[in-house]
Amino acid sequence: MAKNRCRLIPFFAMFLCWVCLCVDVQSQQPVIHERNYLSTALNVSGADFSQQAVSEWRARQKENYLRKIGSLPDSVKAACIAKADQALTYNWPALPAGMYLEYKQTGNRVRYEAKQNERRHFLNNLVIGELITRDKKYLPQILNGLWATLEESTWEIPAIVALQKAGTDLPDPAEEIIGLVGGETAVMVATIQYMLYDQLETVSPIIHKRVSQELHKRILDPYWQRDDYWWMGFTGKAINNWNAWINTNVLQTVLLAETDTVKVAQLVRKIFRSTDHFLNQYPDDGGCDEGPSYWSIAGGKLVRLLQLAHSISGGKLNWSDNRLLHSMGTYIYQMHIAGDYFVNFADATPRTVPDPGSVYRFGEIFNDELLKQFGAYLFAQKQHAMPANSVVDFLETADVFAALTGTAGTAPLPASSFLPDLQVFTARSQAGSTAGLFLAVQGGHNGESHNHNDIGNFLVYANGKPVIIDAGVGTYTAQTFSADRYELWNMQSQWHNCPLINGVMQKDGKAYGATNLSYKENKGVVSIAMDIATAYPPAAFVKNWNRQFLFDQNRNRVVLSEKYLFEKRTGKTKISFLSSCEVKRDTNGKLIFYDDRGTRVLQLIYHTGVTLAEIEEKLLDDEKMKNSWGKKIYRLTFVIDDKQLAGENRFEFTLPPGN
């Protein structure tokens, strides 16, 4: 077993990926299904939110957490205590107005976020250390950190406060904004008070009055009073993972900290109504269009809300037979390729490890052994490391630590999966194995959350390693979420595994997408086909471009066949493939892909109808991309005859002989 350790992850790094997305999401017109699963269940559940019921639940939960912490391996405890000891001498930095205004003045958001993040990290480290040792030596520093947090003018970072009516500026004292960081901070503060109530009271009984005041002022009161936060869903606009993420944190804050039991029941009801808007916009197949690397703060957060609701209600709130909610869990293993590689269309990253506890909770709720085993597998991928950056996540992981380490970790690795609403298809040579080929294909439309113009894009992995790739997203900047997003090379279809038609790239927007999509499966041969012509604007002058992928799993062969019909020819038409592997010409019509050890990993045979024009190196200067792919990637460009109005071409991917 890998050595246990306590892992520190930059707290603010999460938010760099998500805080700028609200404007783009709100501009979309959602498809709404009036499911209302949560509110409907609550209305008939008879759940008891009386003072006695809530108090007894809180006592049971606390006792359970302390027992689970006590049973953690000594190596885990020692690693976390070491982090707490380092925090004993930490000096809590100021968060001055000038630093906050840098986002408005220069667009720099990193300095403020880094300092705020640093404060959160050390406070969480200290609290975890105290919960493990219970020797009170961390309490003075915990009080310092907690007080510093309560003294912040806002818990939201500048990029989120920009949502206030006053716009991008210092936080307006006349308006409280509830966003991602505020929600995370609220549940952290509520958890610290809940778990260390008696200890903190011995230092100063006033601290609890201040905690209650700030939680109500910043979170609980505005949540109850307002319906116009965009992510709540009450305005009818499109929403995304903000809804599930914030609502989960607010629910946990309510259950741990609200003393008015009438208000507890009222807030739970409103939280359920808001979260229903998230579920009412979710596709039937359970697919997360934000990708696997966002799943942990979408479906992976929602499952915590479900588990909390089930627990506080004594099992009366139970969605174990709900197909959609279950599918939101199984989605994550359907997108798994091998190890820490996951399908990474749009802004998703190729390497990620979804939250093991969330995956395991899905398995518990829906009695799904595959999800339980996959949660254990993912925990092993993390080397059984406990989260040290969040006391909330620490407690949740401690609660399932024994289950995660006591379950045989296995990745399901299904032979094929098809999500008809998301229009993502995956298949591998052999179920339960990473050997052979893996294929993923993207349909959909170009108006998705975190969209890239990538209709018809695909991935090919060989023996669990990437060969034909999606470059993914670079480090987020202001341009990433501006009107100039599609000037970034990695957002453009010509830098995906897609055609450039008459010199024209795909267009962004929900109107531009795949049509006539079909999926077939028969005796070890699976295929997916679509017309991608409608992903291009009128200037492409293309009537149809039918792209079919046929995966013969028995023979380890993927064939891409295309048939096209132009209205007229006005420019060059090219087909591009991106690869993380060095590519060399072999014989006429054959290319070989080599890994970084010089081993042949894949071969591509291209047939009549296309000519290889170029094998181009693309040097990467973005650290996020270099972490995924190294210093460079390769683009293969094929051209087709520029005179004919109709034609076809064919590409065949196979393992080299001996592989």
- Predicted confidence (pLDDT) per residue in 525-572, tens digit: 999 999 999 999 999 999 999 999 999 999 999 999 999 999 999 999
Give the range with max mean pLDDT: 285-289, 346-350, 459-463, 482-486: 459-463
> DSSP character for 409?
P
Q: Report the helix count and the strand count for the chain, using DSSP H and E.
A: 23, 23
Contacts of 650 (CB under 8 A, 6+ apart): 559, 560, 561, 562, 606, 607, 609
25 has a pLDDT exceeding 70? no
Alpha-carbon gap, residue 386 to 397, rounded angstroms: 7
79-123 pLDDT per residue, tens: 999 999 999 999 999 999 999 999 999 888 889 999 999 999 999
| pLDDT at 28 (0 to 100) | 63
575-607 pLDDT per residue, tens: 999 999 999 999 889 999 999 999 999 999 998
Alpha-carbon gap, residue 305 to 557, rounded angstroms: 43
Residue in the structure block whose two tokens are 């002989």: 657
Contacts of 309 (CB under 8 A, 6+ apart): 38, 251, 268, 272, 317
Give the mean model confidence (pLDDT) for residues 219-244: 96
Nearest to 350 by CA among 485, 473, 453: 473
The answer for 181, left when phi > 0, alpha when psi is -120 to 50, beta otherwise, is: alpha
| pLDDT at 609 (0 to 100) | 82
| pLDDT at 18 (0 to 100) | 47
Q: Which of 244-258, 308-322, 368-382, 584-598 has the lowest mean pLDDT?
A: 584-598
> DSSP character for 217?
I
Interhelix angle for 110-133 vs 139-151, to 10°? 150
| pLDDT at 658 (0 to 100) | 77
Average pLDDT, the chain: 94
Percent share of the chain, pLDDT over 70:
96
| pLDDT at 474 (0 to 100) | 86
| pLDDT at 26 (0 to 100) | 55
Amino acid present at 452: H
Q: 3-class DSSP state for residue 575?
A: strand
> Is residue 230 within 8 Å of residue 22, measured between CB atoms?
yes
Percent share of the chain, pLDDT over 90:
87
379 token code pair: 């925990």
pLDDT band at 3 (very low <50, low <70, confident <90, very high): very low
> DSSP character for 655?
P
Contacts of 551 (CB under 8 A, 6+ apart): 416, 427, 437, 439, 525, 526, 527, 557, 558, 559
Residue in the structure block whose two tokens are 């179920």: 431
11 has a pLDDT exceeding 70? no
- Name the burial class of residue 25, with classes exposed (0-12), middle (13-18) and buried (19+) by CB atoms within 10 angstroms of its CB: buried
Domains and CATH numbers, the chain: 6-406 (1.50.10.100), 416-654 (2.70.98.70)
23 has a pLDDT exceeding 70? no
17 token code pair: 């990926």
Alpha-carbon gap, residue 224 to 250, rounded angstroms: 11
22 has a pLDDT exceeding 60? no
651 token code pair: 């590409």
pLDDT band at 429 (very low <50, low <70, confident <90, very high): very high
> Is residue 286 within 8 Å of residue 324, measured between CB atoms?
yes
How big, in percent rounded to 5, are the helix, strand and coil portions of the chain?
45, 20, 35
Q: 3-class DSSP state for residue 216?
A: helix
> Is residue 463 within 8 Å of residue 428, measured between CB atoms?
no
Interhelix angle for 356-365 vs 299-312, to 10°? 50
643 has a pLDDT exceeding 90? no
**φ, ψ for residue 559 (rounded to 5)?**
-115, 125
| pLDDT at 348 (0 to 100) | 87
| pLDDT at 27 (0 to 100) | 54
519 token code pair: 């999926």
Whole-angstrom distance between the N-terminal and C-terminal Cα of the chain? 30
pLDDT band at 475 (very low <50, low <70, confident <90, very high): confident
526 token code pair: 């699976």
386 token code pair: 């406990």
| pLDDT at 19 (0 to 100) | 47
Residue 10: CB atoms within 10 A of its CB come to: 14
Alpha-carbon gap, residue 397 to 6, rounded angstroms: 12
10 has a pLDDT exceeding 60? no
453 token code pair: 């113009």
267-277 pLDDT per residue, tens: 999 999 999 99
Contacts of 508 (CB under 8 A, 6+ apart): 446, 447, 451, 453, 485, 486
Amino acid present at 137: K
Instruction: Report which of residues 336 and 588 the model is more confident about.
Output: 336
Alpha-carbon gap, residue 587 to 594, rounded angstroms: 15
| pLDDT at 2 (0 to 100) | 39
12 has a pLDDT exceeding 90? no
Q: 3-class DSSP state for residue 387?
A: strand
574 token code pair: 């090219």
Element (H, E) at 546: strand 542-552
51-64 pLDDT per residue, tens: 999 999 999 999 99
